[in-house]
Amino acid sequence: MKVITNISLWQKTRQNLPFDKTLGVVMTMGALHKGHLSLIEQSKKQNDFTLVSIFINPTQFNNQDDLAKYPKTWDQDIALLEAADVDFLFAPCFDEMYPDDYRYKITENSFSQILCGKSRPGHFDGVLTVVMKLLQLAQAHRAYFGEKDYQQLHLIKQMVKAFFISTKIIGCPIIREEDGLAFSSRNIRLSKTAREKARLFAQMFHQNQPLEAIKAMFEQQDIEIDYLEAHCNRRFAAVLIDGVRLIDNLELKK
Ligand code: PAF
């Protein structure tokens, strides 16, 4: 795997890839897990080359403490990417990615204002801006995003349409641990007792019950609710378990 931290070196590398070969990109903030690996697997199946980016994007964190606590597992990430036979790792620094110091940004003013966007003001401006930058740099044929961040996936799909970007955005199913908890980089931060609460969260969230009943179950387990809502035939939740923010979503049966 070629590790590239410099934008101009990546651009040269990209230019030198054979014209008739395809490139898939998987964008990450590191702390890689089986969810990321499933995106990489999908990219490898559908493309000749796979690029993974690792960039902990500060502009999508509205809370400095959350940014500081975001897990960083560089050596382990490299080992996982090598084992997954990824072709390129792009890991730029802030100054490379934001030569404008974030004076320019992408804002969506409808779906980004609810759910995660409501409780994390500016979050989706940061996400959409960095994803646009990475799409421009990658010049990939396909980009892979997990359905765990369903709101993010939907906003990226709409952004790509709005700005005539030719990269195809591919949504991939949520990968769960054996007990039903969705894989997330944040899971590493859960203590043993918090992990047990997280299991209950996932289990209760999936019950075929009205939202009010699920809310009551969360409250009974002392699970702090950020939101629990249904939109477009999908149920969404974000909760805080011992200060760790976990999200989940599922399609509702008709
Ligand atoms: O889903 C993530 O890990 C991030 O939001 C992304 C898409 C890599 C942008 O920083």
13-56, pLDDT tens digit by residue?
A: 999 999 999 999 999 999 999 999 999 999 999 999 999 999 99
The alpha carbon of 215 and the centre of ligand 1 are apart by a number of angstroms equal to 28
**Residues 62 and 38 placed together within one structural domain of the fold:** yes
Q: How far is CA 96 from CA 53, 90, 229, in A?
A: 13, 12, 38
DSSP letter assigned to residue 85:
T
Question: What's the burial of 165, exposed, middle or buried (CB within 10 Å: 0-12/13-18/19+)?
Answer: middle
Atom of ligand 1 nearest to the CA of 185: 3
Instruction: Find the mean pLDDT for residues 173-182.
Output: 98
Is residue 36 among the annotated active site residues?
A: yes
Percent of the chain surpassing pLDDT 90: 99
Atom of ligand 1 nearest to the CA of 55: 10
Nearest Cα to Cα of residue 224 among 243, 204, 250: 243
Q: What is the CATH number of the domain that holds 88?
A: 3.40.50.620
**Residues 128 and 231 placed together within one structural domain of the fold:** no
Asked whether residue 177 is assigned to any structural domain, the reply reads no
Kindly report, residue by residue over 99-136, the tens digit of the pLDDT: 999 999 999 999 999 999 999 999 999 999 999 999 99
Name the average pLDDT for the chain. Answer: 98
**Residues 163 and 194 placed together within one structural domain of the fold:** no
Asked whether residue 252 is assigned to any structural domain, the reply reads no
The pTM is what?
0.98
Q: What is the CATH number of the domain that holds 240?
A: 3.30.1300.10
- Can you tell me the distance from the alpha carbon of 145 to that of 149, in angstroms, rounded to the nearest whole number? 8
**Residues 57 and 158 placed together within one structural domain of the fold:** yes
pLDDT band at 212 (very low <50, low <70, confident <90, very high): very high
- Can you tell me the distance from the alpha carbon of 45 to that of 24, in angstroms, rounded to the nearest whole number? 10
Nearest Cα to Cα of residue 88 among 213, 197, 3: 3
pLDDT on residue 253: 82
- Pocket test of ligand 1: the residue of 25, 27, 112, 137 to mutate, having most ligand atoms within 8 Å of its CB, is 27
Domains identified in the chain, total number: 2
- Can you tell me the distance from the alpha carbon of 248 to that of 23, in angstroms, rounded to the nearest whole number? 29
**pLDDT for residue 237 is more than 80:** yes
Ligand 1 binding site (Cβ under 6 Å of any ligand atom): 27-29, 57, 60, 127, 130-131, 149, 152
Question: What's the burial of 234, exposed, middle or buried (CB within 10 Å: 0-12/13-18/19+)?
Answer: middle
**pLDDT for residue 254 is more than 90:** no
